[in-house]
Amino acid sequence: MNTNFLFVFCLLVCIAEAKVEYKLFNVMNYGARADDRTDNSVAFLKAWNDACKWRGKSTILIPKGSYMLHEVIFSGPCNAWMNFQIEGTLKAPSDIYLFRTDSWISFRYVNKLNVGGGGTLDGQGAFAWAKNDCQTNRNCRTLPTTMTFQFITNGYIHHMRSINTKQNHFVLFGCKNMVMTRLKLMAPTDSPNTDGIKIAMSTGVTISSVNIGTGDDCIAMLYGTKGVRISDVYCGPGHGISIGSLGKNNGEDDVDDIVVKNCTFSGTDNGVRIKTWTAVLQKIMHVSNIHYEDIVMENVRNPIIIDQNYCPSHPCNPKGGVSSVQISNVSYKFIRGSANSDVAATLQCSPNKPCQNITMDTINLWPSGKGSKLNNECLNVKGASHGIQVPRACI
């Protein structure tokens, strides 16, 4: 056979193959309407289901425009890489009674998921915030998270803006190997329980170049969070970057291997915080190998804090109750800036499980107000300090 013929034959087959590879699913072809009123959940789900079945890579496109979207769950497993491209603005119904679950937009059981596109998620939270009575009612209604990722592996979440979420902006649960970057998460300072990114039972999460201003924690890492790299996060207003709360219930998995680097906190309640409940559990859980480096504090109430005496809803022992969480190998390096209280670092560990191997290296914190003076407070801490320490170290 002539080699030219073979070449041309291959070329045709290869082009056909390449065409099978990739397909665009535009929600407008599934009846979506960008009129700000019509619920688009059915149209988006139809597009998702076709894309999910497609045997090549697929993009679900939401073009520019403003779309009303009720609660939706985009489920896998899918046949190949899924790209969810949000170029428009998605609006949640403001009526919380239209939600059956605690999430507005959910992605579940997908391997290789890309969510981005430069669009906006508008949780329209004002009505829900007024209904939030969680400060006084222990059985309060859980309000919807804007976007939830459950059992996603190899996820890339990027270039999106989330505003006015009803409760959390983003939640990761049971995920593996996730990258979150170029995100902007905004809600008012006084919007209750509006965490930025909340993580539990997940391994391998990279968060970088994210700007968060919200009413609760900028980032919260809960039970079973392992292998997290956080860098270039701007947090403020908000309650800081937290590990915890942990150790309230039996069976919580350990938190291990967290690095927080090159972040700025501005006007936040806390900077870097680890908090655990006073509770006696069947088994001791561990928080270990936590590294904070190159952190700037601007007018922060508690720049560095370990609170093992967390107990917001029943009377606590003021001298430090007993926690079932062992904290070890925590280092703070190159932390600088201003605090608006009288404590720079509060390290309040449990009397029955003193913190082990806490190190402070080159800390320079000063009061943001004139005439005030900063101190450090340590309780049940074992470790060491190196380099410059302003104010004077308490380990």
Ligand X SMILES: *[C@@H]1O[C@H](CO)[C@@H](O)[C@H](O)[C@H]1NC(C)=O
CA dihedral 97, 99, 101, 105 (to 10 degrees): -150
Nearer to ligand X, 79 or 357 (CB): 357
Closest approach of ligand X to the CB of residue 296, in Å:
5
Judge contact between 195 and 214, C-beta under 8 A: yes
DSSP 147-197: EEEES-EEEEEEEEEEES-SS-SEEEES-EEEEEEEEEEE--TTSTT--SE
Q: What angle do CA 382, 385, 390 make, to 5 degrees?
A: 125
- Residue 386, classed as helix, strand or coil, is strand
Nearer to ligand X, 66 or 359 (CB): 359
Nearer to ligand X, 33 or 261 (CB): 261
Gyration radius of the chain's alpha carbons: 24
Residues annotated as catalytic (active site), given as ranges: 239
Nearer to ligand X, 283 or 373 (CB): 283
Closest approach of ligand X to the CB of residue 262, in Å:
4
- Residue 4, classed as helix, strand or coil, is helix
Nearer to ligand X, 153 or 359 (CB): 359
Rounded CA-CA distance 32/352 in Å is 59
Closest approach of ligand X to the CB of residue 288, in Å:
4
Residues β-bridged to residue 113: 82, 155
Structure-block tokens of residue 263: 């972040």
List strands edge to edge, sheet with 103-108: 72-75, 103-108, 145-150, 170-173, 197-200, 219-221, 241-246, 270-277, 302-310, 343-348, 375-379
Closest approach of ligand X to the CB of residue 331, in Å:
4
Nearer to ligand X, 153 or 357 (CB): 357
Closest approach of ligand X to the CB of residue 384, in Å:
9
Closest approach of ligand X to the CB of residue 299, in Å:
15
Which residues of this chain interact with ligand X, rule CB under 6 A?
232-234, 262-264, 286, 288-289, 291, 296, 328-329, 331, 357, 359
Residue 135, number of CB atoms within 10 A of its CB: 10
Helices (H), 1-158: 3-21, 41-53, 126-131
